[in-house]
A and B are shown apart, each in its own frame.
Chain A
Amino acid sequence: MLTRRLIPCLDVKDGKVVKGVRFRDHVVMGDIEELALAYREQGADELVFYDITASPEGRRVDRAWVDRVARAIDIPFCVAGGIRSVDDARDVLHAGADKVSINSPALERPTLVDELAAAFGVQCVVVGIDSLRDDDGQWRVRQYTGDPSRTRALARRTLDWVREAQSRGAGEIVLNCMGSDGVREGYDIEQLAAVRDVCDVPLVASGGAGAPQHFADAFARADVDGALAATVFHSGAIAIPDLKAFLRAQGVAVRP
């Protein structure tokens, strides 16, 4: 039986793992390989590296760290952030990443999803979606959320974009529910369940994890395939072995 995945997400800037409000006040948390290995030892099922290095106009971001991570760890990892072309994705995948995750560039140019799926197969292509409920009750997509001064609301409804991304070749969807992100009061189960209904590929929950029960709820009530979290793991508030024991006791299948 396929187990549910626990996925720590690490922010990377200039090849270092950082924490802080995105795009300001970054504090270096440590060496990328050491942190990746520590999570691997704890039993993380997969890692996501969100590269927040600002990309100078028209220039490639230096991603030598992807190769270093690929040498160091023996669990799958995905690279997100700044991938805007088949060439960008090829660099990252050939350096050893298992998947690439695209978000704002896919909204700018949805055919990027088709191009990546054709070049590398759908299993490599993750579409990340930042979503927020509007006053009229509809969930809609947000773009450029990495930079608060540039973030904008789109007319595109989240459920429509989930359907379109799949039909273009997304092999997995990561849904970041911005309303619950950073609050640590639980994943947005209602929204995740609504997306689950229209999502036939693996779905990963993001935004809101604060306690072990939140993970159990996302798996049991929204039937997500994986749960992504940052702060609760990085702060040590939740240790992955303890979380797995908790989930197992609740009847959730997790990897030993």
Chain B
Amino acid sequence: MSVVLVDGGGTNLGSVRYALQRLGVDASLVADAASVRAADHVILPGVGAAAPGMARLQELGLVETLRSLTQPVLGVCLGMQLLFDASDESDTACLGVIAARVARMAGAPGARVPHMGWNALVRERDGALADALRPGDHAYFVHGYAAPLGPWTVASADHAGRFSAIVQQGNFHGMQFHPERSAAVGARLLKRFLEL
């Protein structure tokens, strides 16, 4: 099985790679279209802002490649947000795999933004990754923008309003939280993705 991590310049590349190593998988870091296309599983990690994230993918000439992949793809955190049509963050056009827009989290008294910490995952529908969820699962989130609920929502979380925590659109999957930093829950979800 070949797993590649798309080098989108995010600072969590190392952490995701180590999480995969703990599962016995040695993922390679790639930045070219041919290597991405050839992989069995493609992971798009990401930390930072949407605009530089997309700029980096454009620079590498990976936008069309990523959109047209047919093998299992996993976007993590910003990587998940980039699967959507666009983000309100600097009004950035994204990959357009999921037809919705990522918006700034509103927050509320007592619900600070950025949303930072462990929050409960609530299963919303069936899906490959939903099979790996158990009641009471919590995952580690760090983000200020979030994707709305929709048919793509496999699991939600609530922080002054519900948002998509796990998404799926065909072979494209996404996790808004950091599975690489979500202890046993994160490891279980990553393992499930690698089994697809």
Task: Give the B-binding residues of A (Cβ under 8 A).
Answer: 1-5, 40, 45, 67, 70-71, 74-76, 90, 93-96, 98, 120-124, 171-172, 200-203, 223, 225-226, 255-256
Q: Is the CB of B117 within 8 A of A124?
A: no
Q: In this assembly, does B19 line the interface, its C-beta being within 8 Å of a C-beta of chain A? A: yes
Q: In this assembly, does B178 line the interface, its C-beta being within 8 Å of a C-beta of chain A? A: yes
Chain B residues, CB < 8 A from A95: 14
The answer, among A71, A76, A98, A256, for a CB contact under 8 Å with B18, is A71
Distance, CA A123 to CA B94, complexed state (A) = 21
- Sort A-B residue pairs by CB-CB distance and give the 10 closest, nearest first: A93-B11, A255-B118, A123-B142, A76-B181, A96-B14, A71-B18, A255-B138, A121-B48, A3-B118, A202-B116
Distance, CA A98 to CA B159, complexed state (A) = 21
Q: Is the CB of A74 within 8 A of B186?
A: yes
Shortest CB distance A42–B (Å): 11
Q: Which of A95, A98, A122, A203 is the most central at the interface, judged by chain B CB atoms within 10 Å of its CB?
A: A98
Q: Is the CB of B18 within 8 A of A121?
A: no
Known: A96-B14, A98-B15, A200-B112. A74 touches B119 (CB 8 A): no
Shortest CB distance B52–A (Å): 9
Shortest CB distance B111–A (Å): 7
Distance, CA A5 to CA B140, complexed state (A) = 11
Q: Is the CB of B115 within 8 A of A2?
A: yes
Chain A residues, CB < 8 A from B159: 2
Residues of B87-130 contacting chain A, CB below 8 A: 107, 110-120
The answer, among A67, A75, A203, for a CB contact under 8 Å with B14, is A67
Q: Is the CB of B116 within 8 A of A123?
A: yes
Distance, CA A40 to CA B136, complexed state (A) = 18
Shortest CB distance A162–B (Å): 13
Chain A residues, CB < 8 A from B138: 3, 255-256
Known: A98-B142, A255-B138, A256-B136. A122 touches B114 (CB 8 A): yes
**What are 30 inter-chain pairs, A to B, with CB distance below 8 A?**
A2-B111, A2-B115, A2-B117, A3-B120, A4-B117, A70-B15, A74-B180, A74-B186, A75-B181, A76-B178, A93-B11, A96-B18, A120-B48, A121-B47, A121-B49, A123-B47, A123-B116, A123-B142, A171-B114, A171-B116, A200-B112, A201-B114, A202-B114, A202-B116, A223-B110, A225-B117, A226-B117, A255-B138, A256-B136, A256-B138
Distance, CA A98 to CA B107, complexed state (A) = 22
Q: Is the CB of A225 within 8 A of B116?
A: yes
Shortest CB distance B117–A (Å): 5
Q: Which residue of A lies closest to B138 (CB)?
A: A255
Q: In this assembly, does B32 line the interface, its C-beta being within 8 Å of a C-beta of chain A? A: no
Chain A residues, CB < 8 A from B182: 74-75
Distance, CA A75 to CA B142, complexed state (A) = 13
Q: Is the CB of B47 within 8 A of A2?
A: no
Distance, CA A71 to CA B18, complexed state (A) = 5
Distance, CA A120 to CA B178, complexed state (A) = 16
Q: Which residue of B lies closest to A40 (CB)?
A: B183
Q: In this assembly, does B148 line the interface, its C-beta being within 8 Å of a C-beta of chain A? A: no
Q: In this assembly, does B21 line the interface, its C-beta being within 8 Å of a C-beta of chain A? A: yes
Distance, CA A121 to CA B110, complexed state (A) = 22
Distance, CA A226 to CA B22, complexed state (A) = 28
Known: A2-B159, A67-B14. A74 touches B144 (CB 8 A): no
Q: Is the CB of B118 within 8 A of A124?
A: no
Q: Is the CB of B158 within 8 A of A94?
A: no
Known: A1-B158, A98-B181, A225-B112. A71 touches B21 (CB 8 A): yes
Q: In this assembly, does B37 line the interface, its C-beta being within 8 Å of a C-beta of chain A? A: no
Q: Is the CB of A74 within 8 A of B19?
A: yes
